[in-house]
Structure 1
């Protein structure tokens, strides 16, 4: 796990990841506290998808990136850094111009298409699994499902 390039606020985009050939994550609704959107952008093709946690399509994702996808890209840049996000999504832009708006603009010029929303369920499931860790009591005992992590070196 890499440290965030800059601190980010988790209220708007509580979960963002570069996985499965996509930038994907969970974005809070601006109008309903009970609703979240699962948004994604595919690497290379920039095919995008955005739907609610109940699999209802986002009304703003009609032919172009909606506000949820733009927020996801902004937070991914804060979490991973613009160069890593651009490399992962295979966006070809000069390093001097690198930033969330530049990445979004470069992808938008290719006229991305609506992508498959089948990824929404596993992304939302991983998000819920991460939330479950927040409910655990603080402990130094190992968690069985985290045993696949390599052991850390002890510093003397």
Structure 2
């Protein structure tokens, strides 16, 4: 077994390109969506949870306490555009395009090209906003950053119960 298989940490895939975490501290491709946390441009204490669904490009953007974003009324707001930009930096344009099922025909899939293809998107149906679980995952990631580096097991990272040996 290699060292990483015996530790309580997982390998981290390096970003496609370095990115600054101040504007978009959390971005992920999960649950059939590009989703993440985006800092407010006007209030340092406010963040937005933004998402774009794969295939349909249905989008949602609201504050961490579920107030709707004023800019996401008829199309992508600046928070969603920032999320797409940071996702391309984190995962690479081709990976993001493949995950969201965006067909970019002219050149390499970059953030403006992806956003342009998804322009006809509609807001996600009411009740389908995943803001709470996304924000909760973001807070959990922040908590892991406060832990001291160790190779000792972390109880919350041990997902599988111990198995009993069969004779």
Aligned residues: 147
Structure 2 segments unaligned to the other structure (5+ residues): 1-11, 161-167
So what's the TM-score if we normalise by structure 1?
A: 0.89
Counterparts of 1:89 and 1:107 in 2: how far apart (Å)?
Answer: 10
Residues 1:115 and 2:132 aligned together: no
CA-based RMSD of the aligned residues comes to 1.5
TM-fit CA distance, 1:95: 6.5
TM-fit CA distance, 1:121: 0.4
TM-fit CA distance, 1:46: 0.3
Encode CA deviations 1:17-61: one digit per residue, 9 max, x unaligned. 000000000000011111000000000000000000010000000
Contact 1:15 1:27 in 2 (8 A): yes
Q: Which structure is larger by alpha-carbon Rg, 1 or 2?
A: 2
| Misfit runs of 4+, over 6 Å | none
Aligned partner of residue 130 in structure 2, secondary structure? helix
Of 14, 34, 37, the match for 1:23: 34
Counterparts of 2:31 and 2:159 in 1: how far apart (Å)?
Answer: 19
Counterparts of 1:79 and 1:45 in 2: how far apart (Å)?
Answer: 22
Contact 1:83 1:95 in 2 (8 A): no
Contact 1:47 1:113 in 2 (8 A): yes
- 1:64: which partner in 2? 75
- Hey, which of these two has a bigger chunk of helix by percent? 1
Counterparts of 1:106 and 1:94 in 2: how far apart (Å)?
Answer: 10
- 1:125: which partner in 2? 136
Structure 1 segments unaligned to the other structure (5+ residues): 150-156
Higher mean Cα deviation, 9-18 or 135-144? 135-144
TM-fit CA distance, 1:93: 1.2
